[in-house]
Amino acid sequence: MKVAIIKSKKNILGWMTRIFTGCWAYHIGFLNETTGVFYDVGSDGRRAIMWDSFYKPSRMQVELFKCKVTEHYLKGMVSTSVERYGFVDYFLFFFRWLGFKVKNMKGVICSEMVNRDLRKFSVSTPWHPNKPPPSPCDMLDWYQNGAKKP
């Protein structure tokens, strides 16, 4: 499995993220390069989708990083998790970048899910699960600048 961080200059979410964070990374999840299955969190919660049917290489760039998280674990989470996407969290996230102090709400955003899953596999990330979550940009920066290798 690999952590897949998605960036795009051709996507409205990429542009919004760029305006508020300074980088184009707008989504993150786990990719099995062999099967093409991508595990992330969508509007209905955790999901497993076929990568190439949802994400088009002509419209994005992807940064891939090795990770300890297993597909067995992710499949179990898709079938048992009751987490829902945090639309309020997503919008509050942008206020954080404007300097406002915001708290983590009840929903889960993509980078929050990845952070929690990495921590379950004993990866020491800089983001505590009960604090405001990282953005995909935060996680990209962390990986590019010396994240501990699995």
Does residue 92 form part of some domain?
yes
Is the Cβ–Cβ distance between 7 and 26 less than 8 Å? yes
Does residue 149 form part of some domain?
no
Does residue 90 form part of some domain?
yes
SS3 assignment, position 79: helix
Q: With 80 as the cut, is the pLDDT of residue 114 above it?
A: yes
- Pick 94 or 112 by higher pLDDT: 112
Mean pLDDT, residues 31-48 taken together: 90
Number of domains in the chain: 1
Mean pLDDT, residues 62-87 taken together: 86
* Nearest by Cα to 41 from 8, 90, 2, 7: 90
Structural domain containing residue 108: 2-143
Task: Supply the mean pLDDT for the chain.
Answer: 83
Mean pLDDT, residues 26-47 taken together: 91
Does residue 69 form part of some domain?
yes
Burial of 22 (0-12, 13-18, 19+ CB in 10 A): exposed
**What is the distance between the alpha carbons of residues 92 and 105, in angstroms, rounded to a whole number?**
9
**What is the distance between the alpha carbons of residues 89 and 132, in angstroms, rounded to a whole number?**
9
SS3 assignment, position 1: coil
Q: Which of 10-19, 33-42, 100-109 has the lowest mean pLDDT?
A: 100-109
SS3 assignment, position 24: coil
Q: With 90 as the cut, is the pLDDT of residue 140 above it?
A: yes
Percent residues over pLDDT 70 in the chain? 81
Q: With 50 as the cut, is the pLDDT of residue 149 above it?
A: no
Mean pLDDT, residues 41-61 taken together: 83
Residue 31 tokens, joined: 């990719």
Total residue count of the chain as it appears in this document: 150
